[in-house]
Chains A and B, each alone.
Chain A
Amino acid sequence: MTQNRRFPVRLDLKQGTVDMSHGSGGRAMAQLITELFHRYLDNALLAQGNDQALFSPPPGRLVMSTDGHVISPLFFPGGNIGSLAVHGTLNDVAMAGARPLYLAAAFILEEGFPLADLARIVESMADTANQCGVPVVTGDTKVVERGKGDGVFITTTGVGVVPEGIHISGDLAQPGDAVLVSGQIGDHGVAILSKRENLGFETEILSDSAALHELVADMVAAVPEIHCLRDPTRGGVATTLNELAHQSGVGMQIREEAIPVRPEVMAACELLGLDPLYVANEGKLIAICPGDSAERLLAVMRAHPKGKDAAIIGEVVEDGLNFIQMETRFGGSRVVDWLAGEQLPRIC
């Protein structure tokens, strides 16, 4: 009668849904963790089942970064919230020039969320983490009532180690530096918009969601004098350049023509009244390095598959107003400001 099988009835990963008991701390939660999270994210540190992971990092300076992921739709062309949550944080770690080591993942699940979707998400997180060689070593699960969440939110936190001799920070850009971008911009934002039912448009565009730490490793190995790296996510390239200009107390002069944008992305933006400079990316980076290293850095980037369309898009200039000025494709000049509010589809 009494027996030792911990969970006599398996979690129903086909028809089941998340309910409040999955966040209660009791056996239903233990079962969710065992049969879903541990099953996919399988690694020795996680399997210990402690509330924390213990590891011995290589010597050197560490970086830590955290990001909450709240995307809608959860599944989009080129990825889902699970793969994105891995890429996003790995990239923020890598943007210090660091090698990512470990990830932590905290899930906030909404009551009623299908376990099948959760399993797909966690599986894809696991695959992504595997491919990147960066395991999810500790985690947490909470459940909120229906109407107090949005399916699933995933907050990931990463730690990584910075090679010696690398000093990368948003406040190090200097007049004379070159500004580079690692590839075509705007793909992620447009891929997401294309799944918004009411916009009714279709493209072949996939999110560029990707991990950039290997590209960064090549870059810092070849050009250790890089000053800034940042991934132009929310707010797009325009916002990231403004952030960097402000942090470093400089201005920038960029050339619209030099900025790689796919024609489909351009077309979708025209349709919706958006500007690709403000559209989110999830697998691109902005790099700023001394002007005379720029060609060398560009060559290294182009040699890596994730930087093959890299381009030098402008240079850092002195400017007390920290403006980003752009020479337009048409030959005019404009200020590229921060995004104000949200970028919404417009009619005029």
Chain B
Amino acid sequence: MSTRLAKGGRLIDRTKTQGFSFNGKRMTGFAGDTLAAALLANDQMLVGRSFKYHRPRGIVASGAEEPNALVNLGSGSRLEPNQRTTTTELFAGLEAASQNHWPSLEFDVGVANNYVARFLPAGFYYKTFIHPRAAWKHVFEPIIRQSAGLGKAPKDRDADRYEQAYAFCDLLVVGGGIAGLQAALVAGRSGARVILLEQTAHWGGRAPVDGDVIDGKPAEAWVKDALQALGEMQNVTIRNRCKAAGVYDHGYVLADEKVADHTPGDGRPKHRLWRIRTGRIIAATGALERPLSFAGNDLPGVMLAGAVRDYTVNFAVSPGDRTVVVTNNDDAYRTAIALKEAGLEVPAIIDARASVTGALPAKARAMGIRVEAGRAVVKVKGGKRVTGVAIGLQAGEGAVLDEIGCDAVAMSGGWSPVVHLWSHCGGKLIWDEAQAHFRPDPKRPPTNHDGSAMVTVVGAANGALTAAAALADVAAQMGGEAKAEAVEEAAMEPVWIMPQGAGPALKMKMWLDYQNDVKVSDVQLAAREGYTSVEHTKRYTTLGMATDQGKLSNINGLAVLAQSLNEGIPQVGTTTFRPPYTPVTLGALAGEARDEIFQPLRRSPIHAWHEAQGAYMEPVGLWRRPYCYPKAGESHEQAVHREILNTRKAVGMLDASTLGKIIVKGPDAGRFLDMLYTNVMSTLPVGKCRYGLMCNEQGFLSDDGVVVRLTEDSWLCHTTSGGADRIHGWMEDWLQCEWWDWQVYTANVTEQYAQIAVAGPNARKVLEKLGGMDVSKEALPFMAFVEGHLGGLPARVHRISFSGELSYEIAVPASHGLALWQALIAAGAEFGVQPYGTEAMHVMRAEKGFIMIGDETDGTVIPQDLNLGWAISKKKADYLGKRGQERVYLARADRWKLAGFETLDGSVIPDGAYIPAAGHNPNGQRNTQGRVTSTYHSPTLGKGIAMGLIRGGLDRIGEVVEFTKMGGGTVQARVCDPVFYDKEGEKGNG
């Protein structure tokens, strides 16, 4: 059984016990434990179920590579599925529950899949569930969906907050093992700005566990000194619990700092996502141990040899009383020795190599450990945990020579460098025959913005697996002098299948990918069926697609594939390494952007007043504008109708502050505006306003608004609410990139002004009440403006109208916007003033037949389609969009053109309705001849009115056409003039 040892444990604090629960069972551990260590200490060997066959799963690793021991951590608004127990720091009150089983971890009906596993080989689902057609959706897929998935889906909103931060450095060192520490020391001493990251809470990596001696000191002491030295360097920042997740182009690195994972609810952000820009990356990311492929290598109790050592030395936890070690290399002997030193039994070391020499085996033998050379584990015995191993010849086919009772197996198939950060941006790898792993090819690095190498890999990550080799590698690549005492190790021998001649029955029990249940036989099947590209094999078998992304399985799988194809491993190649190195919480990627600060919400200076009045607001771009101001008991529709009728009969007020306002000034400003607008703006007299249209180079209408001639050499261009930034950018684009010799300056002053439209028969009275300015018809005629003071505020008042009523648009500095609004409300009270919202504005402009960008236009409409030829200058040789409009299809006579529509029954034409035409096109689709673009109930006219585009446009006035209705049927409407209200324009001009 797995248990806590009485002595030792370099990372735990035995004076601090911490209670936690697993599947509701109360357990205790120590401060410094990982959850995995604490579970093992409580003899919780079985921790989960595999994805496909629901086989029992135990802890196999001690770090981020763990594929099995994932739990639902926490509950409610802090439930986190698929949390790795091996990287979860224990805290008091932690709640964990195992995943992917029903009804319980011990008894899981899904294990039925295990008993029919031979009928569920790789890719079985591609070959079956084909008939009958409906069965996939209704029967098979629901069953597969339900049995797939791992952790529980959270239900609640996340209780924690997240944040992000930027950091900059010359050198980013990733990995706080001895290679990373030494690299940071060397770089720090050179004066460079250095950031050093370590993903765990602890520094030093494997060296302290392995008992290495560096610069004459025990590794533990050397690490402590190194940290102190780094801490004293002003130019070095060190950060633990911070994982470099991904390397992106031009030296951009994402790192995920687990700020409060181990102290949930303390008010700090749960994670902080660092966005680091570095000149160069030093990846000292270490290496990961590989499993060996023998039958039953997935049973709980079979663990990586290095992990067994970690648990024993770091946490004083023994995975078993009797541990058999199986290996193809010398490093695993350290595990046997550590176990023995901890007072545990190692019945045998099964070494696949025919000849076992070297210092570590000698030491093991000297300790009395039985070493079996040239032998293999034929099969692991046991069910939900290991009970023993059957031994045979590695060179054989699986005949059992001996059986050894044990309760744990420590395996080592050699070590693979962690090359992820090298590979994310395209660094290439070479195959190292001697150590049987891929390591970075220094000749083909990922490159930076200037073409230089962006990543340097040092230490075990570069294939320098021992402490001595790792520090020598740092010295060779970066300088510095730290040295570790060399411990002689004999060569490892690659072992991809154990025993090498195993037959199909054994291969069906040799796991490559523990979580996804991919076995040696599955990879061989993929090869047999022609899925021979490594990407095909991966996708067909799902090898390496589990939450560990193949950290344990990829190289073993690749080797099996290469053997099956009779090719070399480097010829087969690897799959692509994609970020992140280990999964990153989505909340951290979303960062601070939640709730109030999810997106910028733009507020007009009068926004708070609208909200206080209970206005129903609608998003317009990033702005929020009042749609209407419902009174108690009023529906939105009723409110809109009231606001329209009040404006038409008395007077209304609209917050139009969001309208874009751009000043264009200079000797060439008139010429410039003549290119920008379809009509002529250079001839506009000072003091006057003119409506203008802007098109893109394709000729399609992109924006409209009123242009004001402020002075001889300056104009003020109003744009749509959503268009201000876009149009300002458009102007600058042309001025900077095409007509850079023209003398024109622009300034976007949209937010400088609050703008309020006062519209309705009583509008003038309201302004006169405020006083300070002559707003009479004579002093301020239609399409003119004056500047002065209104009610004591500096104001520019325009006589322009989007409602068709007598209307003034008043601009005042934004700081006075609320004051003006309130003054108008007060002054207007006796004249019946009421605010109106965007919807009333829309309806009123439709009653007048005014177009709206975004309603009548959709990016495919040219001004000519909207009968706006009057606003297109025929005299100008050029304007933006003119050439585009001359193209064949845009110049066709039968384009759909704007007209008005009145339903015969007074109803409202549905939004989005089309006008079908007779017959069908060659694709069998009903022909069409037009569509509605704006459709409303007009409270002014008491009936439905609409504008739309129809082939023939105004030529068809009087004709009755049919519009589609949602859900079938049509509504009849008569084509008419789109101006429904005050056709003569007497009101606006009044």
Is chain B a partner of chain A in the same complex?
A: no
